[in-house]
Chain A
Amino acid sequence: MSEAPNHVLEFPGGYTRSVGPVIGRFLTELRDGRLVGVRTAGGRVLVPPTEYDPADGEPVTGEFVEVGPGGTVQTWSWVSRPRAVHPLDRPFAWALIRPDGADTALLHALDLGPFETGAAPPRFLKTGMRVRPKWRAERTGAIGDIECFRPEVTMINAPTRLEYRLQGGRALDRFLEGISQGRILGHRCEVCGQVIVPMKGLCPRDGVPTTEEVELPGTGTVTTFAVNNLPDPRAPEVPFVSAYILLDGAGLPMLALVAGIPADQVRMGMRVKAAWRPREEWVASMANIKWFEPLDEPDVPFEAIKDFV
């Protein structure tokens, strides 16, 4: 029925119905925010109550028993596209819920939180789930006095936030001082002669302190790289390439972004140069180098970089 209706059937004011003492008691207790069941002659507790035992048709006793409010989901269905007549306007479950202390189940809506229209049923929705009613503030004595059921609390999200004042250490501070002036500084190892950049104040190969500063050019070679498809605030766009770049004259490759070329055209051995931000934006941070861009030079053969991969 896609087109607008041309005939609407309504019952003005609805039907007036007397509810009798059994259903009436249940609805009255609902209005007071309580769930009650009625006991059968056989001792079972029916929720919602009926005037007769569904098992044998015998009249129930006059004994009402408070049940719940917690209950257990017996079976459920997942409405990913609610209808206008449904009690919730976002995806929800219908559930048969057996309140604690009851022997039968009550049908109601189960709100599991915000989901987009059409969402698949959440994995945590399971038969056996523990739930509780959410009461409406203004109650009238109707099944809708329970707005819906919600899962019992089984987990919390405990927020954690710590603040630190980090110090780079003497070598890194000196390196960043160079970067803030547009210079890339390294240390040469007195033992092996390799240049370590960014410098650490010692040679990771020989384990000896290093002090001899060397300035390196902003050019280098991609030794290896990764194409990243998850967005990162430091990257220009997705996909982006992070690469190990061996600066000319350096003995260790350095991790940096590569841009200015489609991700699928980046290659091992590709020559690149640092793209600096405008001078007025320089701070004492590696962010001064936005990324490395292709340099119009022939690729370096694999043999020359194989030890740095």
Chain B
Amino acid sequence: MSAPLSTDIAVVAFVQTEHTAEAAGASEVELLAPVITEIKERTGLNRFGFTCSGSNDYLAGAPFSFVSALDTVGAWPPISESHVEMDAAWALYEAWVKLRHGEIDTALVYGFGKSSQGVLPEIMTQQLDPYYLAPLGVDQVSLAALQARAYLERSGAKEDDLRAVAARSRRAGRDNPFALHLPDPGDEGYDVAPLRPYDVAPITDGAAAVVLARGDRARELCERPAWIRGIDHRSEAHSPGVRDLSRSEAARLAGERAGAAGVEVAELHAQFSHEELILREALGLGEDVAVNPSGGPLSANPVMSAGLIRIGEAAARIHDGSAARTLGHATSGPCLQQNLVCVLSGDDHG
């Protein structure tokens, strides 16, 4: 299709930590600082038109913990900055909107979190509505298992199909130097039935950063910019009781709007193995699409950056020339409530 316009926006750099399953003593800020340093070195940029981050105070148990992370960026003289209390994929969306205004031509996006410090499934209970769900103490894995059951019963898929997703993710993850290197799924009992421990993303600490740039600036900063051809996010009702949990209408719509058709690689923010199957169906990804060649969240799930990493990994396939059109997906909320789809391509592929 057409060559990128000067208003087109690309991912020009992507950096992530070597993720760990247990806190190695570094604070959240210490986790993040090397990533910011590296992405500045790689792009040669010290200042950005806009900076936006994604993190969650409940992971650290410290109010406004994202503020101290600004020290890693260097916020003096004062910078234009924003934060989302969500995965940094949504920070990337905000930065993309800012770039679309045309007043700036670069943006730094980062996300970070240490889920090893608390009990993640219970921390995630705090995101639920305070009237009907949170007081029950229903945790994230239990909610996901409700969705897994609904999907298995509607689709006819078996628990072995879930295991196959986990096995493939873990195999791929062992080839990814940044992911946790997990063994093949063993003979494990249920976590919350029908999910087994390997169906659940591992507890992971980590951080990631992306630089976005507009038009010619992107070409200066990157040999093969990964142009954002479409980006869209959709949300469904919060309550799992009013949705068809076996399907993801939000992912379907976001994929359609972002142009998911025809991608070669899809990095999906599937934190439970059944979510990958629901998302494949919603996004219309056929057998020929390589899903989560990085290993995906089932191999490393640094909360608050795992979605951004999906976009980063999808962009990296464009940067290294191994794919022409790729997709990064991020999710938020209980049972795939919210879905963001970002479709990327190189110069020659519209």
Contacts and interface: CB of A to CB of B under 8 A. Distances in A.
Contacts of A231: none
A54 B116 CA distance: 35
B102 interface: no
B239 A50 contact: yes
B136 A108 contact: yes
Contacts of A48: 131-132, 239, 241
Interface stretch (B12-20, B139-147, B219-227, B297-305): B139-147
B183 interface: no
A75 B153 contact: yes
Most central of B121, B122, B125, B242 by chain A CB within 10 Å: B242
Contact of A127 (B58, B119, B149, B189): B149
Contact of A143 (B136, B149, B194): B136
Given A46-B242, A48-B131, A87-B136, A94 B189 contact: no
B142 A105 contact: no
Contact of B142 (A1, A50, A77, A104): A77
Given A1-B118, A74-B150, A77-B192, A106 B136 contact: no
Contacts of A17: 130-131
B139 A83 contact: yes
Contact of B137 (A75, A83, A142): A83
A48 B131 CA distance: 10
B149 A85 contact: no
Contacts of B34: none
Contacts of A98: 241
B275 to A, nearest CB: 14
B146 A104 contact: no
Given A54-B239, A83-B139, A96-B240, A75 B147 contact: yes
B117 A1 contact: yes
B193 A106 contact: no
A85 B242 contact: no
A121 interface: yes
A79 B131 contact: no
B190 interface: yes
A85 B243 CA distance: 25
Interface in A9-49: 9, 15, 17, 19, 23, 27, 46-48
B240 A1 contact: no
A194 interface: no
Contacts of B195: 77
B122 A107 contact: no
A1 B119 contact: yes
A52 to B, nearest CB: 9
Interface residues of A, number: 41
Nearest to A108: B136
A128 to B, nearest CB: 10
A98 B138 CA distance: 18
A83 B122 contact: yes
A54 B146 contact: no
A64 interface: no
Contacts of A105: 240-242
A25 to B, nearest CB: 12
B323 interface: no
Interface in A121-152: 121, 127, 142-144
B97 interface: no
Interface string B29-72: 00000000000000000000000000000100100000000000
B131 A143 contact: yes
B139 A85 contact: yes
Given A77-B193, A86-B137, A104 B119 contact: no
A50 B131 CA distance: 11
Interface residues of B, number: 42
A138 to B, nearest CB: 16
B61 A106 contact: no
A61 interface: no
A245 B336 CA distance: 70
Given A1-B118, A85-B125, A107 B138 contact: yes
B279 interface: no
A77 B242 contact: no
B74 interface: no
A7 interface: yes
Contacts of A276: none
A282 interface: no
A75 B335 CA distance: 13
A19 B131 contact: yes
A43 to B, nearest CB: 15
A217 interface: no
A1 to B, nearest CB: 6
Most central of B133, B145, B243 by chain A CB within 10 Å: B145
B245 interface: yes
B262 interface: no
B190 A87 contact: no
A30 to B, nearest CB: 10
B135 interface: yes
B131 A54 contact: no
Contact of B132 (A87, A106, A127): A106
A94 B142 contact: yes
Nearest to B139: A83
Contacts of B130: 15, 17
Interface string B181-199: 0000000011011110000
9 contacts: A77-B194, A78-B145, A78-B190, A80-B192, A83-B119, A94-B146, A107-B239, A120-B189, A127-B153
Interface of A: 1, 7, 9, 15, 17, 19, 23, 27, 46-48, 50, 54, 74-80, 83, 85-87, 94-96, 98, 104-109, 118, 120-121, 127, 142-144
